[in-house]
Amino acid sequence: MDKIVVHGGHRLSGSVKISGSKNSALPILAATLLTSEPCTISRVPDLSDIHYMLTILSELGCEVERASGVVKIRAEKILSQAPYDIVRKMRASVCVLGPLLGRQGEATVSLPGGCVIGDRPIDLHLRGFEALGAAVRVTGGDVKVLAPKLRGATISLRSKFGSTVLGTDNVMMAAVLADGVTIIDGAAEEPEVVDLANFLIAMGAKIEGAGTRKIIIEGVKELHGAEHEVIPDRIEAGTFLAAAAIAGDHVRLLRVNPLHLKAVIDPLVDAGFLIEANGNEISIRPGVKRRPLKLDTLPYPAFPTDMQAQMCALLATTEGISVVTENVFPHRFMHVAELKRMGADIDLQGATLVIKGVPQLSGAPVMASDLRASAALVLAGLQADGVTEVNRVYHIDRGYESIDEKLNGLGAQIERMKA
C-alpha cells in the first residue's frame, strides 16, 4: 500500500493540465451498454475507478480497448449481472443498473462500495425504476430489477439532501429506451449530468432540459454508436485552485471550463485571491491579504461538497474565523481529526465547522479516509512545516490522475512510497 510524503514549504508556480471528469466518464462508459454498436470515449482519466468500471463492462461481455485516454467499447452481446468482487470497490458501479435495465429488461448488481462518508442510499434510483414499471428486489446484498418493458412516467428525485446525480443518471439511462415520455422532476443540475445527456443524444436519444431541475426524455426504440469527449474535471480543477491558494505564487490551470467552477472561484475571490478566466484557462495569484470565509455546501450550482475538505485545508491557516456548514453529507468530516493532528484549530458543531486560522501547520503522519479528504491532507502538507505522510492514498488514486506528479510539476516536493 502506498503513502504520499509531502515536504512542506515549497511554493507553486507554472501551469497544470486538468484531466477529464471522473464523475462524467463513469456513467458515460456505463451508457455504452445501451447499444450494440461501437462507441469511442476520449479524455477518459487514468484512475482506479475507471479501471474498475472497464473491468465491470468487460465482465458483462463488452469488448474494451483503451489507449492514451481513449476508450473504445462494443457491447454487442452482454450479460445482465455485474460481479460483486468489482462492484463492491466503487459506488458509481451502481450506474450500470439503468442501462442494463433499459437494454436487457433486467439487471442484478451488488450493493456498491466506495468512500466512507456517511449514508449514501440508492433508494431514489430504485424509486425511479419502479416508476418506470420495474419490479425491484433487494436480497442477499444484491439489487435486482426486472421490467420486460419500461414505460415513461413522471418521477421525483427530490430528497432532504438535495438531488442525486447518479440517480438522475441512472433513471435517464433507463428512460431513453422506455415507451413514451419520462419527466424527471428534481433532477440534478450538475455539468456531469449534462455531459451524459449530450452523449446519449449523440447516440440518438431525445432529451431536453439537462442542466435544469426538469429533464424530459422521449423514449426511442434503439440507440446507435457515437463518439464523445468527456468534460474537464471541475473538482480536480477546484482542488488545484485550492492548492495554488494555499502555496502558490502564480498558477495557471489549462483545459478547464471556468463556468463550471464559479461556485469555487467566487469564494476564493472573496478570500482575497486574484483570479482571471480566459477561454479554457484560469490563473490564480495571491492578493494583499487572505480573508476568512463562510461556506455552505449544497448541490450544483452552489458550493460543492466535494470541495469542502480542500477548502478546510486552506482556511486552517487563514487568519480569522471561518465557518463551513456541510448540507449534503452531514457526516463528511473525517479529515477534521487529521487536520487537527497537524495543528489546525477546528471545532465541529453538528454539521458545522468553526475554523480559527493558525499561522502554520506542522507535518505529521495522517490517515486518508476518503477521496476528497486525501486531497485535503496533501494540500495541508504543502503549507506545513516539515514532512507530512498521507497514508492509504488508494483513495486519492480513485479520483485524481497523477496528483503527486502534477503538483511536483508546479514546484512541490512530493514522493510516493510504499507504506
Residue range 117-140, pLDDT digits in tens: 344 578 899 999 999 999 999 887
Q: Judging by beta carbons within 10 Å of its beta carbon (0-12, 13-18, 19+), is residue 192 exposed, middle or buried? A: buried
CB atoms within 10 A of CB 418: 6
Per-residue pLDDT reduced to its tens digit, 35-63: 999 999 999 999 999 999 999 999 999 99
Q: Judging by beta carbons within 10 Å of its beta carbon (0-12, 13-18, 19+), is residue 67 exposed, middle or buried? A: exposed
Same domain, residue pair 204 and 274:
no
Same domain, residue pair 124 and 245:
no
Contact 12, 414 (CB under 8 A): no
pLDDT of 141 reads 80
Compute the average pLDDT of residues 324-349: 95
Same domain, residue pair 195 and 239:
no
Same domain, residue pair 180 and 250:
no
Rounded percentage of the chain residues whose pLDDT exceeds 90: 86
CATH of the domain at 342: 3.65.10.10
Measured between alpha carbons, how far is 69 from 17 in angstroms, rounded to an integer?
Answer: 14
Number of domains in the chain: 2
Measured between alpha carbons, how far is 414 from 208 in angstroms, rounded to an integer?
Answer: 45
Same domain, residue pair 238 and 195:
no
Measured between alpha carbons, how far is 223 from 370 in angstroms, rounded to an integer?
Answer: 36
At 283, which amino acid appears?
A: S
Same domain, residue pair 259 and 225:
no
Compute the average pLDDT of residues 331-337: 93
Cell of 104: 436487457
Give the residue carrying C-alpha cell 442542466.
211
Same domain, residue pair 73 and 106:
yes
Measured between alpha carbons, how far is 22 from 398 in angstroms, rounded to an integer?
Answer: 9
Give the residue carrying C-alpha cell 477534521.
336
Same domain, residue pair 249 and 158:
no
Compute the average pLDDT of residues 389-397: 92
Q: Is 312 a catalytic residue?
A: no
Read out DSSP for 16-46?
A: EEPPBPHHHHHHHHHHGGG-SS-EEEES---
Phi-psi map region of 162: left, alpha, beta (phi>0 left; psi -120 to 50 alpha): left
Round the CA-based radius of gyration of the chain to a whole number and report it.
21
| Catalytic residue selected from 39, 62, 95, 115 | 115
* pLDDT > 50? residue 114: no
Single out the residue in 213, 229, 245 at which a domain terminates. Answer: 229
Cell of 340: 487537527
Same domain, residue pair 44 and 122:
yes
- How far are the Cα atoms of 5, 391, 403, 409 from residue 406, in angstroms, in the given order? 14, 19, 5, 5
Same domain, residue pair 203 and 153:
yes
* pLDDT > 50? residue 276: yes
pLDDT of 200 reads 99
Per-residue pLDDT reduced to its tens digit, 362-385: 999 999 989 999 999 999 999 999
Compute the average pLDDT of residues 81-86: 82
At 364, which amino acid appears?
A: A
Percentages (nearest 5) of helix, strand, coil residues in the chain = 35, 30, 35
pLDDT of 117 reads 37
pLDDT of 118 reads 44
Structural domain span for residue 253: 2-18+232-418
